[in-house]
Structure 1
Amino acid sequence: MQDQRAELEWRDGAVPVSTRFDDPYFSLDNGLAETRHVFLGGNDLPARFRDGFHVVELGFGTGLNFLTAWAAWRAAGVEGRLHFTSFEAFPMEVGAMEKALAAFPEVAGLAAQLVAAGGGSTEFEDAMLTVIEGDARETLPKWDGKADAWFLDGFSPAKNPELWGADLMAEVARHTVPAGTAATYTAAGFVRRGLEEAGFTVTRAPGFGRKRHMTRAVLG
């Protein structure tokens, strides 16, 4: 397992930027709105939620995507528990996570629970979070779970191509239930082709903010 932490600088004192990948962790426009548009909307959530629904993510980052999904789960009044698994190569220190999440008062209560739990794998009353540290190219093939929905949220494919390669997209497909879905903010051609080659039916959808397009995918 890698023992490497995220290396950060702060833009406008509030937006964390990875110095390793020269890319912000969330939209400079509105990270919460972007997550709702791309990852919830792109996977037809919360409409598909049910007890035990399993979201799996490439790139945990600040934990904002988890909190957004958890908040949507609660707002939808779904009985049971949401399962959320995330693969993260460079975990963020919990203090930096807390600082970043302070920008989103709408999820402040849930963020406080995540921070209090150390920012990693935790069982909450209605959500189970598992954060798997290390290079997803090594850890995902060894994982024995299956996703109902994928949040593909690595840093930009141009700056972090390792997290978007065809071999990894094949592993994403192998760890997806029949008719499971995936969504990502990027519409990069090689990403879409990798998903298609892995067995997904891929469509392009309107992106968030300044991004013209995003990608939605359904297995099969």
Structure 2
Amino acid sequence: MAITWDDGDRPFSEAFQDHYFSKADGRAECGHVFIDANRLGERWQAGGPFRIGELGFGTGLNFCETFRRWKTLRPPDGHLSFTAFELFPLGKADIDRILSHWPEIAAERAALTAHWPERAEGVITIDADPQTRLTVICADALKALTALPDRYDAWYLDGFAPSRNPDMWSQDLMRAVFDHTAPGGTFGTYAAAGFVRRNLQAAGFTVERRPGFAGKREMLAGSRPAGR
């Protein structure tokens, strides 16, 4: 994936003509849009295994910030499985450069980049610590997800902007996400486009609008009903 740099360290995708994260603060954006919207802090307290699925691994920022929060909140018997789908993985040097912007996640960045291959392809599995496993599937999200039997407790829907990358928000992919969500499972996304909301609702999710991050008017969050 060809990227250029704004303000020295903010990556911009040439292919999708979009930035990878908010100019305000990508790490704080992750907390608001994904961690808080999915109520992860309170849900992790239950212990046992917890599975997060992500559409669009990008820079790895969401994983690193989630890993940081997870380490402060997890019970002794907790285990986090974080699975991301990324068709255009970034190189190790770019990921390291991007994530070095946040000293708060220095340890998590080191855990990620220490095991990130020079040429990212296929399925990348990283045991970040004994309670945390990252899996990045470098493939088309719809094809890869459809082939998996797994169900996830929470989803981060984080593809590039719907207007720039509509395939990542299609009705078929949203249906696949629903089918691979545990009953009562949740999602969060910065996106608020009408067709995204309608595709999520058509798939079977309950969807609500919430205040967006850093002055953005709206974002979407929701869940798969427990009885479905």
TM range (shorter): over 0.9
Aligned to 2:29: 34
1:62 and 2:87 equivalent?
no
1:82 and 2:87 equivalent?
no
- Identical-residue share of aligned pairs (%): 44
Aligned to 1:137: 142
- Tell me how far apart the structure 2 counterparts of residues 28 and 150 of structure 1 sit (CA, whole Å): 23
- Tell me how far apart the structure 1 counterparts of residues 53 and 75 of structure 2 sit (CA, whole Å): 18
- Tell me how far apart the structure 2 counterparts of residues 11 and 81 of structure 1 sit (CA, whole Å): 37
Deviation at 1:137, TM superposition (A): 1.9
Q: Is the 8 A contact 2:153 2:185 kept in 1?
A: yes
State the 4+ residue runs in structure 1 displaced beyond 3 angstroms: none
Worse overlay, 119-128 or 205-214: 119-128
- Tell me how far apart the structure 2 counterparts of residues 160 and 75 of structure 1 sit (CA, whole Å): 35
SS in structure 2 at match of 1:156: coil
Query: Alignment length, in residue pairs?
Result: 215
TM-score by length of 1: 0.95
Deviation at 1:69, TM superposition (A): 1.0
Q: Is the 8 A contact 2:5 2:11 kept in 1?
A: yes
Q: Give the counterpart of 1:149 among 136, 150, 154.
A: 154
Deviation at 1:75, TM superposition (A): 1.1
CA RMSD, Structure 1 to Structure 2 (Å)? 1.0
User: What runs of 5+ residues in structure 1 fail to find an aligned partner?
Assistant: 1-5
- Tell me how far apart the structure 1 counterparts of residues 103 and 207 of structure 2 sit (CA, whole Å): 34
Worse overlay, 144-153 or 49-58: 49-58
1:195 and 2:192 equivalent?
no
- Tell me how far apart the structure 2 counterparts of residues 112 and 42 of structure 1 sit (CA, whole Å): 27
Within 5 Å, give how 1:14-29 maps onto structure 2: 14-29=9-24
- Tell me how far apart the structure 2 counterparts of residues 37 and 68 of structure 1 sit (CA, whole Å): 11
- Tell me how far apart the structure 2 counterparts of residues 124 and 187 of structure 1 sit (CA, whole Å): 32
* One-letter amino acid matched to 2:203: A
